[in-house]
Every structure is written in C-alpha cells, then in structure tokens.
Amino acid sequence: MPIQYYIILAAAIFCIGVTGVLVRRNAIIIFMSIELMLNAVNLLLVAFSKMHYAVASAATKNMEVNTGTDAQLFVFFIMVVAAAEVSVGLAIIVMMYRNVRSIDVNFLNRLKN
C-alpha cells in the first residue's frame, strides 16, 4: 500500500484525538483522546520505518540494511512513557475525585478568579 494511506489514516486518528481533547469535558475521556493521539503517532512511525527500510534495501540490493529499526524502537519508548504518564495522571484524577466527587473539567474554571 502506498505510504499516503498510512499518513492519512494516522492524521485522521490524530485529529479525532485532538478534537476529543478540545471538545469533551470528562477528564477520563480527554485522557483517552490523548492516548489516541499517541497511538496515531505509533502507527505513523511504524509505517515510516517500513517505508525507509524498503527504500534503503532497494537502493543497496542488500538484505542486511537496518534502516528503520530506530523508529520501531521509538514506538516502544512512547508506549513506556505513556504508561508512566497514565499512572501519574490517573492518580491525579482520583485525587481530584476524592475532593470534589466529580471529574468534570469545567470545575477547573474556578481557578481563574
């Protein structure tokens, strides 16, 4: 499949994520939208990795090129860091829920005054 399809798919998922962050008011849903953004990036990175590999192996006529492995490693780093972020983020959401019994982010507007 041409690379454009992957780029369009990843961009679409990413935009759904961004829209979710901007539009939804529930902290957990916002959080899920952020995860959606990160996973769109993962998909895109893997697709690019495959593309760069194909280009490099066609150019050298040699099976031992390792172009593209760095992007796949990057995906693992994103997953690990996202997990770390989730652990802190959920703790913050729980802390907030204990105090106000709500996870609606409209509560956050009170800080402005």
**Which residues would be at the binding site for another protein (CB under 8 A)?**
3, 7, 10, 14, 17-18, 21, 27, 30-31, 34, 37-38, 40-41, 44-45, 48, 51-52, 55, 67, 70-71, 73-74, 77-78, 81, 84-85, 88-89, 91-93, 95-96, 99-100, 105, 107-108, 110-112
In the complex, minimum distance from the CB of residue 108 to another protein, in angstroms, rounded to a whole number? 5
In the complex, minimum distance from the CB of residue 77 to another protein, in angstroms, rounded to a whole number? 6
Distance from C-alpha of 113 to C-alpha of 101, rounded to nearest angstrom: 21
Nearer to another protein, 5 or 84 (CB): 84
In the complex, minimum distance from the CB of residue 85 to another protein, in angstroms, rounded to a whole number? 6
Q: How far is CA 103 from the centre of its chain?
A: 22
Nearer to another protein, 64 or 97 (CB): 97
Backbone angles phi, psi at 10, to 5 degrees: -65, -40
In the complex, minimum distance from the CB of residue 90 to another protein, in angstroms, rounded to a whole number? 10
Q: How many CA atoms lie within 13 A of 2 on its CB side?
A: 3
Alpha helices in the chain (DSSP H): 3-23, 27-60, 69-100
Distance from C-alpha of 25 to C-alpha of 28, rounded to nearest angstrom: 9
